[in-house]
Structure 1
């Protein structure tokens, strides 16, 4: 039987193979996801380097950073070698990345298509395990002048109050609004409730001369547009 050979700690690696040194030498884009996470957690254990620990964590979520971004501190802390402080560091870094995407998305000047709206909304709903209902607030040039959370719900639904939606839109001097909510399940098909609330809001908007341009259902990687499907 081949004798056991303990893994070398990061400090004993060649300098080019250490994540921090590798970043300094070659730049951040040359690091793998595991190496970047290893920098966040700082150290592994006696029998496992920080990089190997990071690889083990990523493997648990099929190397999907979006899936990792949805994990709680409590769940991450179950990995041997990851305490509360390291778990918080990982989650904080992933949240910063999500917010960066969110700030980039708001640079869209005008909403011309449902895809434009989806690009603005995707960071809003990223990593959520529950449903939320939001509105995009647009001016007369179809430029996004605001995003507003209307309600939060559970895994399978949330309640959108028309009074709150129109009050919020009017307070922000909206010319148009786009409705949006997410389906954490990944199912894009609108429910009976989705269809009903959309009809109510479209009719209410007509009475207030506040046009509802679209209703977007968002999942992690795709969307459904009521407007594109001829339902508005």
Structure 2
């Protein structure tokens, strides 16, 4: 006779490797695998598999990459049998806390000297986004960073940027210079024809208002492309 679910899947009935809470208490958090840590977050699995097995399945779908996992929405996580809205939210919240901790650990950048500085300032805002956004950095004299401003949000393929909004934000914040940035969720760093055309348009508009457009940087989760560095300005 098959045992009922409650008997088969109580924590005490699991093998040692499927009891992550006890393992953490006895051996410390660093001994746990990614799947075991996620299993603690979701608490229980489904009728047919334990929380650890379910966590392994979720990770496998993301190529065992936590960065890819952090891109999943609540709706996408809920497609896994045994994951409801509450469990999905717990996973997303934990990953977001990890991202914010990493952001806090970075020393603040007060002056923009290189394209790498631009990348480091804005990566926390762009990382893991499934859609495109367009931000500008507002600089005072001597390229001191004063503001980071979101100009527009779009879809996976692009976002609409209005030059009037860009320079309205620049003027309201007393910009001496600005830096344009946007992300490519696809991971492709190469600028499109539209990216280059927009950049030239904004550079020309900036000259009329005596506001320098110093660079346009395309950002992905782990790399960047500077149009200024590549001579495309």
Fold conserved (TM > 0.5)?
A: yes
1:65 to partner: Cα distance: 1.3
Secondary structure of residue in 1 paired with 2:143:
coil
In 2, the alpha carbon distance for the partners of 1:208 and 1:26 equals 63
In 2, the alpha carbon distance for the partners of 1:217 and 1:124 equals 13
Secondary structure of residue in 2 paired with 1:133:
strand
1:212 to partner: Cα distance: 1.5
Secondary structure of residue in 1 paired with 2:165:
helix
Secondary structure of residue in 1 paired with 2:170:
helix
In 1, the alpha carbon distance for the partners of 2:222 and 2:203 equals 26
In 1, the alpha carbon distance for the partners of 2:25 and 2:138 equals 43
Residue deviations 1:7-38 (CA, integer Å, cap 9, x gap):
87543468797433443444433332112211
Contact kept in structure 1, 2:18 and 2:50, CA below 8 Å: no
Secondary structure of residue in 2 paired with 1:122:
helix
Q: What residue in structure 2 maps to residue 3 of structure 1?
A: none
Q: What residue in structure 2 maps to residue 118 of structure 1?
A: 119
Change in CA separation of 1:97 and 1:141 when aligned onto 2, cut-off 3 Å: farther
Contact kept in structure 1, 2:18 and 2:52, CA below 8 Å: no
Contact kept in structure 2, 1:102 and 1:120, CA below 8 Å: no
In 2, the alpha carbon distance for the partners of 1:97 and 1:81 equals 24
Q: What residue in structure 2 maps to residue 206 of structure 1?
A: 207
Contact kept in structure 1, 2:181 and 2:219, CA below 8 Å: yes
Q: What residue in structure 2 maps to residue 224 of structure 1?
A: 225
Contact kept in structure 2, 1:34 and 1:55, CA below 8 Å: yes
Secondary structure of residue in 2 paired with 1:203:
helix
1:75 matches 2:59: no
Q: What residue in structure 2 maps to residue 190 of structure 1?
A: 191
Contact kept in structure 1, 2:180 and 2:217, CA below 8 Å: yes
Unmatched segments (≥5 aa) in structure 1: 1-5
Secondary structure of residue in 2 paired with 1:55:
helix
Q: What residue in structure 2 maps to residue 40 of structure 1?
A: 41
Unmatched segments (≥5 aa) in structure 2: 1-6
In 1, the alpha carbon distance for the partners of 2:148 and 2:67 equals 22
| Corresponding pairs, count | 227
Contact kept in structure 2, 1:105 and 1:120, CA below 8 Å: no
1:137 to partner: Cα distance: 1.9
1:140 matches 2:141: yes
1:191 to partner: Cα distance: 1.2
Residue deviations 1:51-71 (CA, integer Å, cap 9, x gap):
221111101110111211111
Q: What residue in structure 1 maps to residue 57 of structure 2?
A: 56
In 1, the alpha carbon distance for the partners of 2:89 and 2:50 equals 19
Change in CA separation of 1:94 and 1:139 when aligned onto 2, cut-off 3 Å: same
RMSD: 2.4
Secondary structure of residue in 2 paired with 1:34:
helix
Q: What residue in structure 2 maps to residue 98 of structure 1?
A: 99
Secondary structure of residue in 1 paired with 2:141:
coil
Contact kept in structure 2, 1:136 and 1:178, CA below 8 Å: yes
- Segment drifting more, 23-32 vs 171-180: 23-32
Q: What residue in structure 2 maps to residue 176 of structure 1?
A: 177
